[in-house]
Structure 1
Amino acid sequence: MQYHRVYIKGACYFFTLVTEKRRPIFKDEKQINILRESFKKVMKKYPFTINAIVVLPDHLHCIWTLPEGDHDYSTRWRLIKTGFSKNCDKTNINQPNQARIRKKQQAIWQHRFWEHMIRNEQDYHEHIDYIHYNPVKHGYTNKAVDWPYSSLHQYIKDGIIPKNWGVSGIEIPNEIGKE
């Protein structure tokens, strides 16, 4: 069975991207800043809205809304991943295998990414909660607010989510964002 992506113009999508062999590439501020710059550069040429995001050491989750009349999230992800790969610190990154060498690829990202088109308002809010709770789920912190690389901080600043949201023990649907 071949996987087919869903492309709907102007839609809202949840994404999961994982590093190759789950290496903790995003464990320092320098790498996070390179990823931010890659996003900014792509967003200038191919605009989209980041509704929510969290970056963990070995993966990231985010929700994007694409512009009306545009469905090309794959090009955006390719450019973001390429921009990061060209500029990141490769000190702790293993050498690529022979297949990747032949294709002139680096061993930074898993080849594919996972996407899910947001179906409705409830689906949207469940995925935002999943994103913001993910650092607690993975044991990086006991409170979501303590994780620095999350859009949760903007949600708190905007008064959308209370500061004490995401304390360890909150039930989050485990079927969302299969990692």
Structure 2
Amino acid sequence: MRYRRVLEAGGCYFFTINLEDRNQPLLVENIELLRRVYLKVVKKHPVKTIAIVIMPDHLHAIWQLPKHDNNYATRWRLIKSGFSRELPQTEFCNNSRIAKGERGIWQRRYWEHKIRDEQDLENHINYIHHNPVKHKHVAKVSDWPFSSFHGYVKNSILSPDWEGGIHLNEMYDE
């Protein structure tokens, strides 16, 4: 059975990408590797990252795809495989993965959601920025270092003590 995905050129999407072993903090332990691979992929296959948070065992991102491009799957495949290739092979791998030449770092599938409107975008940006608090990694949003929240503060979109909602008209007023 083939999983159906919404593919819209120029679409805006929210993603959740999980490690296979949700007890491993591989993403934050290898944050520089993840950043390097991510930047390499988006340089070759441009995408606008609207918001992102890297958690120990998963990440959330909102991407705006280029106008005539709907291929987010290739970008995620390259990010996941590029990251995996650089790690020592210590994870358990079942026979199915071995037969397909896969590592056991990432879950095979990922969650994507097509952003419907400005309110949906606002809700997902809030969700991303609050995720470290939700998972009890930090008490305040500003305490988590691996989040686009800090870019929002730097660009005066959010205040450093923000803990609540963001309104898009505030984001784009200039």
Q: TM-score, normalized by length of structure 2?
A: 0.89
**1:15 corresponds to which letter in structure 2?**
F
Whether 1:26 and 2:10 are equivalent positions in the alignment is: no
> Could you list the runs of 5+ residues in structure 1 that have no partner in the other structure?
172-179
Q: TM-score, normalized by length of structure 1?
A: 0.87
Taking the TM superposition and a 5 Å limit, the aligned residue runs for 1:1-179 are 3-22=3-22, 23-28=24-29, 31-90=30-89, 93-166=90-163
**1:123 corresponds to which letter in structure 2?**
D
**2:11 corresponds to which letter in structure 1?**
A
Shift of 1:25: 1.1
Identity of aligned residues (%): 50
> 1:34·1:88 contact (CA, 8 Å) conserved in 2?
no
Q: Deviations over 1:87-137 (max 9, x none)?
A: 1344xx422111111111111000001000100001001100000000000
Distance in 2 between the 1:5 and 1:38 partners? 24
Distance in 1 between the 2:102 and 2:130 partners? 32
Structure 2 equivalent of residue 175 of structure 1: none
Q: Deviations over 1:118-157 (max 9, x none)?
A: 0000100110000000000000000010000000000011
How many residues in Structure 1 have an aligned counterpart in Structure 2? 164
Distance in 2 between the 1:60 and 1:10 partners? 22
Does the C-alpha gap of structure 1 residues 131 and 89 become closer, same or farther in structure 2, counting only changes over 3 Å? farther
- Please, which moves more after superposition, 36-45 or 5-14? 36-45
Q: Runs (4+) of structure 1 moved beyond 6 Å?
A: none
Distance in 2 between the 1:57 and 1:116 partners? 22
Distance in 1 between the 2:103 and 2:40 partners? 20
